[in-house]
Amino acid sequence: MSDFDLFRISEDHEALREAVREVTAAQIAPHAAAVDEEGRFPAEALTALVATDFHAPHIPEEYDGVGADALATCIVIEEVARGCASSSLIPAVNKLGTMPLLIAANDDLKQKYLPPVARGEAMFSYGLSEAGAGSDTAGMKCKAVKDGDHYVLNGQKSWITNAGESQFYTVMAVTDPDGPRGRNVSAFVVEKSDEGFTFGAPEKKMGIKGSPTRELHFDDCRIPADRMVGGPGEGLKIALRTLDHTRVTIGAQAIGIAQGALDAALAYVKERQQFGRAIAEFQGVQFMLADMGMKLEAARQMVYVAAAKSERGDDDLTFFGAAAKCYASDVAMEVTTDAVQLFGGYGYTKDFPVERMMRDAKITQIYEGTNEIQRIVMARQLLKG
């Protein structure tokens, strides 16, 4: 292999891209506008993704998964997001919810909870944020008190993606109220059927309306002690290690949304006539398209490099994961906004998909750590050397 081959996506990855693109175009994108308009879970997308093993491709073969690497998983999320951002959260959140188990759980826990997700029988969500603890994760109030061979959970979690649809939840809770801040949190698996576990009303959101976002409520919710992921007090460390990997997938979602918007804009400017010619012939429009394409490709390369580092577990993943998520989401917001501009008044209507893509893009700058937090993470890594 020559050095130049290092910068070429493998044939297997490109074949995967084509397969996901075909499924998305035929079975997911046609429902995207209705899913957004009706604010309903994209059941058609879940069915299509499960049928093709694209719903949780990251799960290793030993747990009935297909064992896709981090880059392959990002390509799946990117291509689904190109057609429907809400649907791309199925594979993305399945990875987010299960990553703590892959990182820190014992094999019994992995054998119990990963195969049902791999087979498409269940989805897995992730509970870290709270009403008063967003960026300040260590400030959480949700508590888990040991009671014999059980823990009793009380409290709430906010902004939980696919809440109510997922059967399993990784939940962070304080297990040592008097312990050192940040080292007194433990991680648990909570099942949808657990007594004392309920959901708040769905949030009414600007975008990703097909992916339900709800609060989790725990009212004396008793769960077996053997559902702890990792050891006592390791929860926040596990949560932050999880985010190092899954921020890359948000970068992938962002470039998928941006690509969808650029595709739509390119098709439109070649058809739209003004002053007797297609607006694609105007230099001002061409400059906008060039900037959109250039920044999107730069973001894509950052995401792919971060994905490779995620797969290898490189020491500098924390920086690259934050950088990829931050840059790609900023680019997605810029590209989708420019796409709306290129459509003119039509871009501001629901007759075309770019207004939906612009609304969907915004959340990528906020969830899994705001871009302000990403910049703090990056700066700390730089200062550490």
Cα 236 versus chain centre, distance: 19
Q: List the structure tokens of 239.
A: 């949560």
In angstroms, the CA 128 to CA 158 distance is: 8
In angstroms, the CA 288 to CA 306 distance is: 27
160 phi-psi bin (left φ>0, alpha ψ -120 to 50, beta other):
beta
Cβ-based neighbour number of residue 12 at 10 Å: 11
**Which of these, 203, 123, 197, 208, lies nearest to 158 by C-alpha position?**
203
In angstroms, the CA 24 to CA 16 distance is: 12
Cα 203 versus chain centre, distance: 18
What percent of the chain is helix, strand and coil (3-state, nearest 5)? 60, 15, 25
- The full length of the chain comes to 385
Q: List the structure tokens of 171.
A: 């939940």
Helix ranges (H only) for 105-202 are 107-118
In angstroms, the CA 328 to CA 330 distance is: 6
**Which of these, 211, 46, 24, lies nearest to 120 by C-alpha position?**
46
State the residue for tokens 């939980």: 160
Name the DSSP letter for residue 180.
Answer: P
Catalytic positions are 368
Instruction: Tell me the one-letter amino acid at 95.
Output: K
